[in-house]
Structure 1
Amino acid sequence: MSLFFYRSSKRKKRDTAIGANKELKVVLDSTLVKKPIDPLAPSRAAFYSAVLPGLGQAYNKKYWKIPIVYAALGTGIYFYTTNNKDYKRVREAYKRRLAGFEDDEFQGRFTDDGLREAQKSLRRNKELSLLVTVGLYALNIIDANVDAHLLQYNIDDDLTLKPHYKIDAFDNTGSLGLTLNFKIH
């Protein structure tokens, strides 16, 4: 204990000799003050995208993604409605053939077996396009959620990771490196 006291008093004498008893002032730099993280932002963005596709992307201020969301969902809906319409046409023609009529639009192009196979194929395509559309809708929600999470990370210039490649002029060999810079203000 006396050794600790001895060092402490010796350090105190040395600090006084170099002027360490001066008042310490702390100045906060405005760049160090970050906006607070809202933990509900990702769930809010996902909810907005679930209510109206693209609204979560607008909440995240990623406006360029909104046309992509609507183009993807519109394409899925287009293929679903087209396959559904064709399925109903083929099914109605098949029903008319079973009833004994020979005046359907597919007369001469499809046999009865061909109409059954066309129904199976169109129903499968209709269900697949519905599944893809629902998947794209879910992807819209997931994208809004993940993007809101990623917006909360600090990605300023104080932390950089840069790969570099250098060619040695003496023996013409290359060396690959990775530089990590971390600045503390």
Structure 2
Amino acid sequence: MKNKLFIFILLLVFSSVPLLAQNDELKTNIVVKDSVDMKPYTIDPLAPSKAAFYSAVLPGLGQVYNKKYWKVPIVYGAMGLSLYYYNFNNKKYHEYRDAYRDKLAGREVTGQLSSLTEDRLISGQTFHQRNRDLSMLITVGLYVLNIVEANVNAHLGQFNVNENLSLYPKLDRNEIDNNYHMGLALNYQF
């Protein structure tokens, strides 16, 4: 078992040495021919950074750069919804705060909040303040997720998928007890 593992590691290391030797200089566009289909495709190593930059400047622009137009409404919908909840909770927080200040100053509170006690006004303030801050945190998180998604999508858009690397289910017969066992076969051709 140790010998098989050692041979596998050696094959893996020696198969990656020619790849490392060829990448001495960064090229903007690399044309690669697929060995099975013989279709050339280009690799642009700066595409992921461009997509991330575009998404950082304007959310959704990196998805447009990657030609994934269907993701733009999702980006704007998610960020718009969290900004809506931020605005809603901010207004409610200010309503409760102003009503509490009026009650402390001895002025009459009008509207829906007139029947609430001071403790209820304080708990309403903390509730809406916490939700307002959480909504802003979610908005920032979605903005960062938008940038990361554009970068990863640009990386994966250049990934070569062909029959040289494949994973197939395999049904093997055990030679000892003649039972069939399900497994996976990983084929990698150099």
- Give, in whole Å, the separation in 2 of the partners of 1:71 and 1:160: 37
Paired positions, count: 154
Give the aligned CA root-mean-square deviation in angstroms: 2.5
Which of 67, 92, 97 is matched with 2:73 structurally?
Answer: 67
Query: What do residues 27-74 of structure 1 show as CA deviations (whole Å, max 9, x unaligned)?
Result: x98943532311110010001111111111111122221121111111
Residue 39 (structure 1) aligns with:
45
Report the more deviating stretch, 133-142 or 29-38.
Answer: 29-38
Residues 1:78 and 1:165: Cα distance change in structure 2 (over 3 Å): farther
TM-score when scaled to structure 2?
Answer: 0.71
Detail structure 1 runs of 4+ shifted over 6 Å in the superposition: none
**Which of the two has higher C-alpha Rg?**
1
Q: Does 1:176 align with 2:182?
A: yes
Q: Please identify which structure carries the higher helix content.
A: 2
SS at match of 2:40: coil
Residue 51 (structure 1) aligns with:
57
- Identical counterparts, % of pairs: 52
Gaps of 5+ in 2: 1-33
8 Å Cα contact 2:36-2:162 kept in structure 1: no
8 Å Cα contact 1:80-1:126 kept in structure 2: yes
8 Å Cα contact 1:96-1:104 kept in structure 2: no
- Give, in whole Å, the separation in 1 of the partners of 2:70 and 2:163: 25
SS at match of 1:162: strand
Deviation at 1:173, TM superposition (A): 4.8
- Give, in whole Å, the separation in 2 of the partners of 1:78 and 1:174: 58
TM-score when scaled to structure 1?
Answer: 0.73
8 Å Cα contact 2:83-2:136 kept in structure 1: yes
Q: Does 1:122 align with 2:158?
A: no
Amino acid at match of 1:119: Q
